[in-house]
Amino acid sequence: MGLKEEIEAIEEEIAETPYNKSTEHHVGRLKAKLAEKKEKLERQQSGSGGGGGYAVEKTGDATVALVGFPSVGKSTLLNALTNAESEVGEYEFTTLNVHPGMLKYRGANIQLLDVPGLISGAADGRGGGQAVLSVVRTADLVLFLLSVFEVEQYDRLREELYANKVRLDTSPPNVSVSKRHKGGIRVTTSGDVGLEDETIKGVLREYGYVNADVTIREELTIDELVDALMDNREYLPSAVAVNKADLIEPDYKEGVDENLRSLGLDPEETVFISAEEERGLDALKETIWERLGLIRVYMDKPGRGIDYEEPLVLREGHHTVDDALDRLGGSFDERFKFARVTGASAKHDEQQVGRDHELADEDVLRIVARK
């Protein structure tokens, strides 16, 4: 049996096995085995195919991947938001390469990547989708673009990304594993994590662990446990825009909202736009800004005053003074004594802070360094 057939056989067995407490252990082992075989198949394929992935240089303060089916208006939107010129066509698949463009918003440079139509089967290597997906994985935010007439495409897009190890709008599972020399596999959980100890041990054994300590601090599914053990899952935030809103009558909107809700989307958090008529774009930029968790920090430079023109832009999870030092480069890092902050994150003007201080949007920051 070839690897592909083995994978299919395991998938079939998982589908046919009713999931309950008595089968949980077995299903756990099957899922672990499945993930491993898929990995192996991928390594084989990438080894023989010669790759051909897109190399897009990441520049700017953050990168957004624009993901959607052919003809939903990705190129039109990129052209409306950025300085790029992406080909717009009335036929499908006009964009066959990744087109980067730079969106300037509130002093930030946000790189937008218009990637070719992500079609079903992309994650299996069909339709050249693999290269597309590898670009998406490197982004800081996934922006789904849907046509107002086909919002249900959202499900298929998410499935493609999931199959390619992109986990959206969730944080990495709170699981830690450390190898030991003896004593078998020891499971420590905080409360009921939703899986039997035996299931957890079975999954770990499938991955070759003989002696290990595993600590789980939240409720988990088997799939999430498998994710935690693989180190190639990408955890990204996402946002959704619905395009071609100019083509619907106002009373059609309620139906679209209903469809969005059935997809698990909140219509209030979904941005309706017309890329062609350039409507709704301010709200979209605002959403991109928020989902990336961007903040502006105005640097107060000795002798030069506060630079309000070109703020330092920091991303979600990188809001500390230390992160600012990283971005400033040069020798600030070694010479750092302390910083002074004025703004929303400070208790009072010119508060003296250290490296760990969390900055807020529009703070003014002065670095005091050794000569």
Name the site residues for ligand GTP (rule: CB under 6 A): 68, 70-76, 88-90, 92-95, 116-117, 243-244, 246-247, 274-276
75 lies in the site for Mg ion, by CB under 5 A: yes
Residue 201 binding target from ligand GTP, Mg ion, none, CB below 5 to 8 Å by type? none
Is residue 236 within 8 A of residue 317, CB to CB? The reply is: no
Instruction: Please report where in the chains the tokens 């490296």 appear, as a residue.
Output: 355
Q: Using CB under 5 A, which of the segments 75-83, 179-187, 195-203, 344-352 binds Mg ion?
A: 75-83
* Chain-centroid distance, C-alpha 52: 23
- Contact residue for Mg ion among 79, 82, 95, 111 (CB under 5 A): 95
**Size of interface with Mg ion, in residues (CB under 5 A):** 4
Half-sphere exposure of 141 (CA within 13 A, CB side): 25
Residue 11 binding target from Mg ion, ligand GTP, none, CB below 5 to 8 Å by type? none
> Whose Cβ is closer to ligand GTP: residue 97's or residue 188's?
97
> Whose Cβ is closer to Mg ion: residue 99's or residue 285's?
99
Is residue 214 within 8 A of residue 198, CB to CB? The reply is: no
CB of residue 74 vs Mg ion: minimum separation in angstroms? 5
Residue 287 binding target from Mg ion, ligand GTP, none, CB below 5 to 8 Å by type? none
Q: Using CB under 5 A, which of the segments 88-96, 226-234, 304-312, 320-328 binds Mg ion?
A: 88-96
Q: Using CB under 5 A, which of the segments 73-81, 100-108, 281-289, 342-350 binds Mg ion?
A: 73-81
Residue 326: phi and psi, rounded to 5, are -55, -45
CB of residue 81 vs ligand GTP: minimum separation in angstroms? 12
94 lies in the site for Mg ion, by CB under 5 A: yes
Strand partners, 363: 297
H runs (alpha helix) in the chain: 3-16, 24-49, 74-81, 129-137, 153-163, 197-206, 222-229, 253-262, 281-292, 321-328, 332-335
Neighbours of 156 (CB within 10 A): 14
Residue 219 binding target from Mg ion, ligand GTP, none, CB below 5 to 8 Å by type? none
Closest CA to 243 of 28, 78, 54: 78
**Strand 99-105 with 108-114, pairing:** antiparallel
71 lies in the site for Mg ion, by CB under 5 A: no
